[in-house]
Each structure stands twice: as structure tokens, then as C-alpha cells.
């Protein structure tokens, strides 16, 4: 309205909206300021999920139980795939619990821009909050499903199955942390790409299904060791996580430090790439969607 | 020291048209494959040529161009302008949902924006949960919301239903609650878009009152975009008129409003729309037609006329409605009506396809110049989906019905069929 007659000092301004900020400016402090929002998205997801279904929170149990039963019949009974000597139910449910958390988190974070386009277009908050809240929501579901797993595990333990808790079980949080970060990183990369290519979302559902077969969920790692397919498990960063989880609770399975270090390194590299891409896309995506 | 709280310097925003991506990998691969073989891009729209000489002119659009302004603390700024003038782009930049192409905006204090009421409201959550969720989305911490909680509930008047899921709320309660949260934000700068277009008269009054308090008592700065000129006039002390992405006029609100009104003098009863971004509806044209459905600039005061809208639903949709405003040349609303008022079935399912709507306006407008606004809105939650404001200027002229009265000037805004009954009656004084 009027020409500036006073030279303002820069520090006077508390906020400056500029065209492009650096690629590495992640504004993590801002994410921390919005931590209450993260928690509220988590509760919203939880309440909304169980209010909209007839069976409520019991749905969290029914899904893995039915899947485990189906696998026991098809892969165990009909196909006769060995389970490293573990009872079939215990074997499958342990794999399903870990895999489901990873697969769910990945699917949901991959769609974060598309599902939230409306809210992102109306109000600003650090976009990183959304994928973070998805990963955290998944943890609650995982916690509930862990109870189911522990019940099954306790049942077999009481029935004198030769299974034993290993000291490595203290690494369980680390195990879950690795799968969370891996899903988060990969999800952020894919979600950034889906802003340009919508059909990636369909490809993803399919790919995750295939990925499960490359992971020792329905077969033990030992079963393909030495075969020409062994590389499938060796390069798959989720494989050591599933195997280690089984080993921690039963003492059966392939467990190695190297495997976990490999998974963790892959997770961290992907997370770094994902954060950078996500950070770049979040600034301009409203103009391209 | 100056009291400037917002300062925009050479602010511009450019949108890129054309190669915004085909949306799928498949299409991009196909495009690449055609290019490799030296063929024409199969996804270029008809009329768009890849001519190098034209490229610079057609591919980029400046939504905002070189905007400079300063806003002082406590000002209530009305941002006005026609569709496509750049208002929404400016708001988007201010609310950080998109970034400027060049230039910058500097601000002192927190900016809270309210581009829509109830952003992020979840129908399954209770009123209480939604207050916390919505407050957090708008940038408040849990502690701040707790402190303001009672005030918000009090303002919105929903204490009885605070633990009921908001899906059971009436649309009025919904809007009041959502506005209540936003109005109690502890930000130094508040950006408000269109919220007053929804809700009933009582709510609008309350909302305007609250925004006045916010600026006068608390010294906060408000930026207000609205098509409701009466509200802008009442609420704002300064204004900014945007036109084609630049600032046309700014200063005292009355001067700016006058400048806006003056633009409306040219008679043009047709509005051709060419923005088809909306996912649900594409409006092609809005016309003002006479009683025989002919396009004319002038209508006789004693003849009805039609507002004609051609549009297409891109997908089946429901719970939406059309509304029309007829404004006089001072932008006061003379007639307002919504399609479902007489027939609620309008709120039901609408099939996809192309349609023509004719709104019959009875012969009640007094001679003068008028324009219309047409809005297409969601019913729940109430939100304008697409709005066309102050378009289709037309004129009502007196019809010569009687040679004797022809020379009288007609006054007022509406013509009512009054009856004047005279009886002989002796006057008794008590």
C-alpha cells in the first residue's frame, strides 16, 4: 500500500513464506511442535476403525486367526510345507503378526497424499505427521495382535511343545522399530511417486502380495537355504525380521546378527531417501494433484 | 516503529498448464514411445499445438503477478475480486498449502487459516474429540485447546451434545462448532474464507460479531475473503481488490468496494466458464434469458425471466444443492433461493450426465441494473463446491403499461402487488 520508508530488520519477522527451501530443511522441530496432532490422528484412526465395523475391535483378532487357519490348511495340510518342527498355528501366526504390521503400514503410508489431498489442500501442518501417525496407529494394532500371538504361544508352551523363549527377545522393540522405519521410508517414496502416477497404488497392492511370498511367512527360511531361490530371502530386508521374531519366542529359525544389521541398514538408507523425496514433494504436490 | 504484521514483496504464483502429467505410468510410457518414434503426443488436447513460438505464451499462467502489500496490526482486510482474480491463490500461499513462485510474505506472529469450516472433522468422533482434533490440525496444542474448551462449547451452543458423534449433528450445529474452534485460535493473524456463506442468519451475525471482537478487543489481524459484500462492508476497515492476479485497488474499504461495484456496469448477460477442475461438476455457461428464452440485455419489469445454467455431473452425486443470488448494482442481495426449498428431492441422488437448469424469476424486480451469483454447494457439511459471483449483468427497464403513468420514475428494489383500499370512514377523536 505504501512504499517502505523504514528498512526493516530481518529478525522482526517470525515467519517468512518463500518459494523454495533447501532440500535438507526437514523442519523436524516443527514436527515436534505438532506432536499433539500426531497423537490425535492415532486416536482418531483407532476409534474410527472399530466404530465402523460390526465386530468392533475383535476384528483385530479374527483377521489373523482366520488367515493362520487358512494357511495351516493350504500350505501346511495340502502343500505339506514344513514349519521347522513348530506347530502350524504357532508358525503361521508368528509370521502373520510381523508381516501384517509391515504390509499395512506400507500400504497406508503409500496412499498418504491421495487419501489426504483434501485436508492437505485446506490447512498447513507438517505433512510428515500423517505417515508418522499411520506407523504409530499400526503399533496399537500390532500390540493387540501380539496378545493373540502370546496366547497361542502360551497354549503350546503349556502343552509341552519344545519351544523356549530366547534372551534375544529383549531386541523385540528394535525388530519392530526396523520394520516401522522400513515401511515408513518405502511408503514415503511410493506416496511421493503416486502424486504423479496414480496407477502405482494398484501395482503396490499386487507387489506386496508377491513380497509376502519372498518372505518366510508361510515357509521357514531353512527350507529354501541352499536352493537356487535362496537369494530371495537373502536380499529381502524383511526376511531376517520375521525369522528373528520366530527365533526369539521359540528358539527355532534362522537368526543372525548380520541379517538384522542388513535389515537395519537398508531401513535407514530407504528412510533417508524417503524423507528427502517426501519433503520435496510435499511443497509442490497441491499444484500437481 | 511501524505496525506492519504482514508484508508481501513481489509475490507471484505461476501455474504450469499442459504437461502436468498424464496421471499414470502407462500414459507417460505411451507418450515417451510416441516421441521416440517421432510421432505426435497422443495426449495433447485438441487445439494445443507443440509450436515452439507459442509455448511460452500458453504453457504458463500467472495466478498472481508481482503483488506488494502491507497489512497493519488490528486491520480487518477484505479481499475481493471476481472468480479467477487470484483470491484463492493468495489465501493458499498465506495458509502455506502452496508455495509462491517468486517473492515472499513476511509475517509477525502465528498465521491461522480457516479456508473451510471443520477441516478434518471426523463424523464418528464426538464433538469433544473433534474440538481437540480440529484444534490440533489448526496448530493448537492440547493444553491451549483445554484452556479454551469451555469458551468454544459455549460459543457454539452444543453443550448437550458434546459427547455425541458429530454425524448426528444438524448442519447448523456442525458449522457452529467448527467455527467456534477456529475463532478461538490463539493466533495473531486469522485468515477466513467464505465461512459466512454457510449457516443461518443468526450464526452469521454471531460469527461476524466474534470476528469484530477478535480484531478490536484482542488487536488481532483478520484477512477476510467473502462474496457477501454486506458482510465485507460491515466487518472490514480496509480492502484489496484483485483483478487478473494483480492488485487493482487497495485502501479504505468503501473506496475499494466502490471500485468493485463500478466494474459491474457493463451489461453482459452471459457467463462462459472455462475452469473445469472440479471433480464433480463442470459448469459450462450461465445466461440470463427473457420469458421466451431469448438472450437479451434488458427485461421489462412486468415480465418474468430465466437464469439458464448448462452443466455436467462428472459422477453420480448427492446431497448437493444449487443456490442463486440476485444482487443490485450496489451488490446488496435482493433475491436468494435454493433449489431444495420447495422440493427436497433435489438433495437426493443426481445422475451423471449433461443438464440444463432454468430458474424462473418472477416479475418482481424494480427497474435497475442487476447481477447474479450462482453457487453449487454440499449440504453436509455445508461447503461451497463451486461459486460464480457477480456475473451476468442485466438490466430491468420499465415497461410502458399505461401512457399516463409512463412518466413516473419507479423507486425501490422490488415491485409488490399491493392493494390500496379506501373506504369512507368518519374520524372519531377520543
Q: Are residues B254 and B367 in the same domain?
A: no
Q: Does B418 map to a domain?
A: no
Q: Does A289 map to a domain?
A: no
Q: Are residues B233 and B341 in the same domain?
A: no
Average confidence (pLDDT) over B134-149: 88
Q: Are residues B244 and B289 in the same domain?
A: no
Residue A231's pLDDT is 84
Cβ-Cβ contacts under 8 Å, B106 against chain A: 13, 15-17
**Per-position DSSP letters for B226-267, written without gaps between them:** -S-HHHHHHH-SEEEEEETTEEEEEEEHHHHHHHHHHGGGS-
Asked if residue A74 lies in contact with residue A166, where contact means CB atoms within 8 angstroms, the answer is no
Residue B40's pLDDT is 63
In angstroms, the separation between the Cα of residue B113 and the nearest Cα of chain A is 7
Q: Are residues B251 and B304 in the same domain?
A: no
Cβ-Cβ contacts under 8 Å, B1 against chain A: 6
Residue B376's pLDDT is 92
Cβ-Cβ contacts under 8 Å, B147 against chain A: none
Instruction: Collect all residues with Cβ–Cβ distance below 8 Å to B196 and sequence separation of at least 6.
Output: B204, B207, B208, B226, B228, B231
What share of chain B has pLDDT > 70, as a percent?
A: 85
Mean pLDDT of chain B, nearest integer: 82
Least confident of A225-234, B225-234, B401-410: B401-410
Q: Look at A74 and B408; give whichever has higher pLDDT.
A: A74
Residue A283's pLDDT is 75
Q: pLDDT-derived band of residue B199, with 50, 70 and 90 as boundaries?
A: low
Residue B409 pLDDT exceeds 70: no
Chain B interface test: which of A5, A31, A123 (most B C-beta within 10 Å): A123
Instruction: Collect all residues with Cβ–Cβ distance below 8 Å to B47 and sequence separation of at least 6.
Output: none
CB-nearest partner of B122 from A2, A48, A125: A48
Which runs of E-coded beta strand occur in A73-146? Answer: none
Cβ-Cβ contacts under 8 Å, B105 against chain A: 16-17
What is the C-alpha separation between B340 and B183, in angstroms, rounded?
30
Average confidence (pLDDT) over A184-193: 92
Q: Does B236 map to a domain?
A: yes
- CA-closest candidate to residue A179, choices A128, A241, A272, A269: A241
Cβ-Cβ contacts under 8 Å, A283 against chain B: 99
Residue B197 pLDDT exceeds 90: no
Residue B203's pLDDT is 74
Residue A221's pLDDT is 84
Residue B428 sits at φ, ψ, to 5 deg, of -115, 120
Say whether A287 and B133 touch across the interface (CB within 8 A): no
Residue A288 contacts B where some CB pair is shorter than 8 Å: yes
Q: Does B213 map to a domain?
A: yes
Least confident of A19-23, B161-165, B280-284: A19-23
H or E, element range at A221: helix A221-224
Residue B257 belongs to a domain with what CATH number?
A: 3.40.50.300
Q: What is the pLDDT of residues B350-363, one digit of tens each?
A: 999 999 999 999 99
Q: pLDDT-derived band of residue A19, with 50, 70 and 90 as boundaries?
A: confident
CB-nearest partner of A1 from B70, B97, B102: B70
Closest-CA residue of B relative to A120 is B97
Q: Does A17 map to a domain?
A: no
Q: Does B142 map to a domain?
A: no
Residue B85's pLDDT is 82
Residue A57 contacts B where some CB pair is shorter than 8 Å: no
- CA-closest candidate to residue B245, choices B6, B22, B68: B68
Say whether A44 and B96 touch across the interface (CB within 8 A): no
Q: What is the pLDDT of residues B164-183, one digit of tens each?
A: 888 888 877 888 888 888 88
Say whether A17 and B105 touch across the interface (CB within 8 A): yes
Contacts A–B by Cβ distance under 8 A: 125
In angstroms, the separation between the Cα of residue A48 and the nearest Cα of chain B is 6
Average confidence (pLDDT) over A89-115: 91
Q: Look at B45 and A252; give whichever has higher pLDDT.
A: A252
Q: pLDDT-derived band of residue B265, with 50, 70 and 90 as boundaries?
A: low
CB-nearest partner of A47 from B95, B107, B125: B125
Q: Are residues B255 and B315 in the same domain?
A: no
Residue B262's pLDDT is 65
Q: Does B233 map to a domain?
A: yes
Given B245, B264, B283, the domain boundary residue is B264
Residue A13 contacts B where some CB pair is shorter than 8 Å: yes
Residue B251 pLDDT exceeds 70: yes
Q: Does A180 map to a domain?
A: yes
CB-nearest partner of B95 from A48, A123, A288: A123
- CA-closest candidate to residue B380, choices B339, B347, B336: B347
Find the domain containing B327 and state its range.
267-397
Q: What is the pLDDT of residues A33-48, one digit of tens each?
A: 888 999 999 988 888 8
CB-nearest partner of B107 from A13, A196, A284: A13
Say whether B97 and A48 touch across the interface (CB within 8 A): no
Residue B408 pLDDT exceeds 70: no
Least confident of A148-152, B52-56, B141-145, B160-164: B52-56
Residue B269 pLDDT exceeds 70: yes
Asked if residue B286 lies in contact with residue B371, where contact means CB atoms within 8 angstroms, the answer is no
Count of Cβ atoms closer than 10 Å to residue A66 Cβ: 10
Q: pLDDT-derived band of residue B289, with 50, 70 and 90 as boundaries?
A: very high
Q: What is the pLDDT of residues B292-339, one digit of tens each?
A: 999 888 898 889 999 999 999 999 998 899 999 999 887 788 999 999
Q: Does A7 map to a domain?
A: no
Q: Does B21 map to a domain?
A: no
What share of chain B has pLDDT > 90, as a percent?
A: 20
Residue B414 pLDDT exceeds 50: yes
Least confident of A274-278, B20-24, B276-280, B414-418: B20-24
Q: Look at B261 and A269; give whichever has higher pLDDT.
A: A269
Average confidence (pLDDT) over B30-34: 72
Q: Look at B2 and A8; give whichever has higher pLDDT.
A: B2
Average confidence (pLDDT) over B64-79: 90
Average confidence (pLDDT) over A91-118: 91
Cβ-Cβ contacts under 8 Å, B103 against chain A: 19
Chain B interface test: which of A36, A43, A132 (most B C-beta within 10 Å): A36
Residue A29 contacts B where some CB pair is shorter than 8 Å: no
Q: Does A8 map to a domain?
A: no
Grid coordinates given for B97: 498449502
Say whether B99 and A17 touch across the interface (CB within 8 A): yes
Residue B403's pLDDT is 61
**Number of structural domains chain B divides into:** 2
Say whether B122 and A198 touch across the interface (CB within 8 A): no
Cβ-Cβ contacts under 8 Å, B137 against chain A: 37, 119, 123, 125
**Number of structural domains chain A divides into:** 1
Residue B195's pLDDT is 61
Q: Does B217 map to a domain?
A: yes
Asked if residue B250 lies in contact with residue A1, where contact means CB atoms within 8 angstroms, the answer is yes
Q: Does A14 map to a domain?
A: no
Most confident by average pLDDT, A12-16, A134-138, B266-270: A134-138
Q: Are residues B223 and B355 in the same domain?
A: no
Cβ-Cβ contacts under 8 Å, B97 against chain A: 120-124, 286
Q: pLDDT-derived band of residue A113, with 50, 70 and 90 as boundaries?
A: confident
Count of Cβ atoms closer than 10 Å to residue A269 Cβ: 13
Q: Are residues B221 and B312 in the same domain?
A: no
Residue B342 belongs to a domain with what CATH number?
A: 2.70.50.60
Mean pLDDT of chain A, nearest integer: 85
What is the C-alpha separation between B430 and B426, in angstroms, rounded?
13
Cβ-Cβ contacts under 8 Å, B124 against chain A: 47-48, 51-52
Least confident of A136-140, B1-5, B103-107: B1-5
What share of chain A has pLDDT > 70, as a percent?
A: 91
Q: Does A4 map to a domain?
A: no
Average confidence (pLDDT) over B422-426: 90
Say whether A47 and B124 touch across the interface (CB within 8 A): yes
Residue B394 pLDDT exceeds 60: yes
Q: Are residues B331 and B314 in the same domain?
A: yes
Average confidence (pLDDT) over A107-130: 87
Asked if residue B370 lies in contact with residue B395, where contact means CB atoms within 8 angstroms, the answer is yes
Q: Are residues B276 and B206 in the same domain?
A: no
Q: What is the pLDDT of residues A195-225, one digit of tens each?
A: 877 778 788 888 999 999 999 988 888 888 8
Closest-CA residue of B relative to A13 is B108
In angstroms, the separation between the Cα of residue B108 and the nearest Cα of chain A is 5
Q: Are residues B287 and B301 in the same domain?
A: yes
Q: Does A206 map to a domain?
A: yes
Residue A167's pLDDT is 87
Q: Are residues B365 and B385 in the same domain?
A: yes
In angstroms, the separation between the Cα of residue B96 and the nearest Cα of chain A is 6
Cβ-Cβ contacts under 8 Å, A284 against chain B: 98-99
Say whether B138 and A19 touch across the interface (CB within 8 A): no
Q: Are residues B294 and B373 in the same domain?
A: yes
Residue B402's pLDDT is 64
In angstroms, the separation between the Cα of residue A43 and the nearest Cα of chain B is 9
What is the C-alpha separation between B53 and B99, in angstroms, rounded?
29
Say whether A37 and B96 touch across the interface (CB within 8 A): no
Residue B49 pLDDT exceeds 70: no
Find the domain containing A56 and state its range.
26-284
Amino acid at each position: 500500500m505504501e512504499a517502505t520508508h523504514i528498512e526493516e530488520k530481518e529478525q522482526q519477522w517470525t515467519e517468512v513464506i518463500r518459494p523454495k527451501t533447501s532440500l535438507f530443511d526437514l523442519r523436524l522441530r516443527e514436527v515436534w511442535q505438532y506432536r499433539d496432532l500426531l497423537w490425535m490422528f492415532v486416536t482418531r484412526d483407532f476409534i474410527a476403525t472399530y466404530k465402523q465395523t460390526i465386530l468392533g475391535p475383535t476384528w483385530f483378532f479374527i483377521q489373523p486367526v482366520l488367515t493362520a487357519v487358512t494357511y495351516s490348511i493350504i500350505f501346511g495340510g495340502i502343500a505339506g510345507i514344513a514349519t521347522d518342527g513348530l506347530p502350524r498355528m504357532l508358525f503361521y501366526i508368528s509370521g502373520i503378526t510381523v508381516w501384517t504390521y509391515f504390509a499395512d503400514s506400507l500400504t497406508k503410508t503409500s496412499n498418504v497424499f491421495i487419501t489426504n489431498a483434501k485436508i492437505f489442500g485446506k490447512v498447513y501442518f507438517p505433512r510428515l505427521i500423517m505417515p508418522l501417525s499411520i506407523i504409530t496407529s499400526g503399533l496399537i494394532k500390532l500390540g493387540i495382535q501380539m496378545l493373540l500371538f502370546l496366547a497361542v504361544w502360551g497354549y503350546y508352551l503349556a502343552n509341552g511343545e519344545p519351544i523356549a523363549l530366547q534372551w534375544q527377545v529383549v531386541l523385540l522393540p528394535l525388530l519392530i522399530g526396523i520394520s516401522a522405519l522400513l515401511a515408513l521410508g518405502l511408503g514415503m517414496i511410493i506416496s511421493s511417486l503416486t502424486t504423479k502416477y496414480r496407477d502405482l497404488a494398484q501395482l503396490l497392492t499386487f507387489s506386496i502380495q508377491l513380497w509376502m511370498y519372498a518372505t518366510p511367512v508361510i515357509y521357514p527360511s531353512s527350507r529354501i537355504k541352499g536352493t537356487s531361490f535362496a537369494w530371495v530371502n537373502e536380499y529381502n530386508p524383511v526376511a531376517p525380521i520375521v525369522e528373528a521374531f520366530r527365533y526369539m519366542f521359540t528358539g527355532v529359525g534362522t537368526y543372525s546378527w548380520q541379517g538384522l544389521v542388513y535389515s537395519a541398514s537398508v531401513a535407514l538408507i530407504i528412510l533417508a531417501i524417503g524423507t528427502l523425496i517426501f519433503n520435496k514433494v510435499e511443497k509442490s504436490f497441491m499444484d500437481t494433484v | 516503529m511501524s505496525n506492519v504484521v504482514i508484508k508481501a514483496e513481489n509475490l507471484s504464483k505461476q501455474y504450469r498448464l499442459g504437461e502436468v502429467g498424464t496421471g499414470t505410468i502407462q500414459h507417460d510410457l505411451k507418450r515417451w514411445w510416441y516421441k521416440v518414434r517421432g510421432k505426435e503426443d497422443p495426449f495433447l488436447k485438441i487445439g494445443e499445438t507443440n509450436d515452439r513460438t507459442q509455448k511460452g505464451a500458453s504453457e504458463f499462467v500467472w495466478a498472481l503477478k508481482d503483488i506488494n502489500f502491507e497489512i497493519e496490526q488490528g486491520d480487518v482486510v477484505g479481499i475481493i475480486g471476481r472468480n479467477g482474480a487470484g483470491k484463492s491463490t493468495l489465501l493458499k500461499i498465506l495458509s502455506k498449502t502452496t508455495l509462491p513462485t517468486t517473492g515472499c510474505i513476511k509475517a509477525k506472529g502465528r498465521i491461522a487459516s480457516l479456508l473451510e469450516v471443520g477441516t478434518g472433522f471426523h463424523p464418528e468422533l464426538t464433538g469433544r474429540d473433534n474440538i481437540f482434533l480440529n484444534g490440533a490440525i489448526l496448530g493448537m496444542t492440547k493444553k491451549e485447546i483445554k484452556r479454551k474448551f469451555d469458551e468454544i462449547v459455549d460459543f457454539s451452543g452444543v453443550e448437550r451434545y458434546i459427547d455425541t458423534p458429530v454425524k448426528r449433528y444438524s448442519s447448523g450445529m456442525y458449522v457452529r462448532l467448527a467455527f467456534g474452534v477456529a475463532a478461538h485460535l490463539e493466533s495473531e493473524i486469522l485468515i477466513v474464507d467464505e465461512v459466512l456463506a454457510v449457516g443461518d442468519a443468526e450464526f452469521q451475525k454471531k460469527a461476524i460479531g466474534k470476528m469484530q471482537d477478535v480484531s478490536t478487543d484482542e488487536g488481532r489481524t483478520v484477512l477476510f475473503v467473502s462474496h457477501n459484500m454486506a458482510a465485507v462492508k460491515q466487518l472490514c476497515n480496509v480492502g484489496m481488490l484483485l483483478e487478473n492476479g494483480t492488485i487493482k485497488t487497495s485502501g479504505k474499504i468503501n473506496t475499494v468496494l466502490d471500485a468493485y461495484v463500478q466494474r459491474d456496469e457493463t451489461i453482459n448477460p452471459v457467463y462462459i466458464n472455462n475452469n473445469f477442475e472440479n471433480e464433480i461438476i463442470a459448469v459450462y455457461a450461465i445466461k440470463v434469458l427473457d420469458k421466451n428464452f431469448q438472450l437479451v440485455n434488458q427485461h421489462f419489469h412486468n415480465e418474468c425471466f430465466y437464469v439458464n445454467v448448462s452443466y455436467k455431473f462428472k459422477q453420480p452425486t448427492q446431497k448437493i444443492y444449487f443456490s442463486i443470488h440476485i444482487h443490485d448494482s450496489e451488490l446488496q442481495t435482493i433475491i436468494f433461493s435454493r433449489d431444495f426449498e420447495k422440493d427436497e428431492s433435489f438433495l437426493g441422488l443426481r445422475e451423471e450426465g449433461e443438464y440444463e437448469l432454468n430458474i424462473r424469476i418472477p416479475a418482481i424486480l424494480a427497474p435497475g441494473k442487476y447481477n447474479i451469483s450462482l453457487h453449487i454447494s454440499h449440504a453436509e457439511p455445508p461447503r461451497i463446491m463451486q461459486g460464480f459471483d457477480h456475473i451476468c449483468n442485466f438490466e430491468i427497464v420499465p415497461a410502458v403499461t399505461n401512457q399516463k403513468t409512463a412518466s413516473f420514475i419507479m423507486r425501490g428494489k422490488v415491485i409488490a402487488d399491493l392493494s390500496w383500499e379506501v373506504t369512507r370512514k368518519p374520524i372519531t377523536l377520543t
